[in-house]
Amino acid sequence: MLYMFLADGFEETEAIATLDVLRRSGINVKTVGVGGEMICGAHDITVKADVTDIDFDNIDGVILPGGMPGTLNLQKAPGVNAALKHCADNGKLLAAICAAPMILGELGYLSGKKAVCFPGFEDSLTDAEIMSDGVVRDGNYITAMGAGKALEFGAAIVDYFSAEPRGGKILKKMMF
């Protein structure tokens, strides 16, 4: 099971577009409300999270959408940090987009990894090799620049879990 954490102030496009790509591909993903079931995005769009807690015995990875103050709210949530540590310690997927890679960077998880984030947050990607690509995968880490790359971010996550790349095919079907 993949878990996408949502905290008040999350960037709606980054969360919903990514979630849509994953669900269309058949990947099991649940949204996790940080602080409650109803979460309000950065642009006053409220969504109902699937769950408010996760099952650490059944976790394949964590996805963090960006947005402000959503990223800061994710960063200070003990449950989010516990899930990130569990995934880092067990080689599970850690995916973050926009400002959210700063969380991974400040925790030291991106040290020696190629990564990208929303312009202006690079200083938080401690000891990472900053790339210019819109979406970057390095091992079990996937990072992306921002909302304009949300579909590609979702496709990269699909490819991470696929024997053969199929994220691009999912996007093509979505567009036509």
pLDDT in tens, 160-170: 998 777 777 77
> Residues 105-116, buried b or exposed e (16+ Cβ, 10 A)?
bebebbeebbbb
Q: Which residues does 25 contact at the CB level (< 8 Å), separation at least 6? A: 158, 166, 167, 170
pLDDT in tens, 125-173: 999 999 999 999 999 999 999 999 999 999 999 999 987 777 777 777 7
pLDDT in tens, 72-117: 999 999 999 999 999 999 999 999 999 999 999 999 999 999 999 9
CA distance 86 to 80: 10
Whether pLDDT at 176 is above 80:
no
Q: Report the predicted TM-score, pTM, of the whole model to 2 decimal places.
A: 0.95
> Which residue type is seen at 115?
A
Domain range summary for the chain, segments of one domain joined by +:
2-168
At 175, the pLDDT band (50, 70, 90 cuts) reads low
- DSSP assignment string, 41-108: -TTS-EEE-SBSS--GGG--EEEE---TTHHHHHHT-HHHHHHHHHHHHTT-EEEEETTTHHHHHHTT
pLDDT in tens, 17-76: 999 999 999 999 999 999 999 999 999 999 999 999 999 999 999 999 999 999 999 999
Is CATH 3.40.50.880 correct for 2-168? yes
CA distance 8 to 33: 9
Residue in 59, 46, 42 with CA at minimum distance from that of residue 4: 59
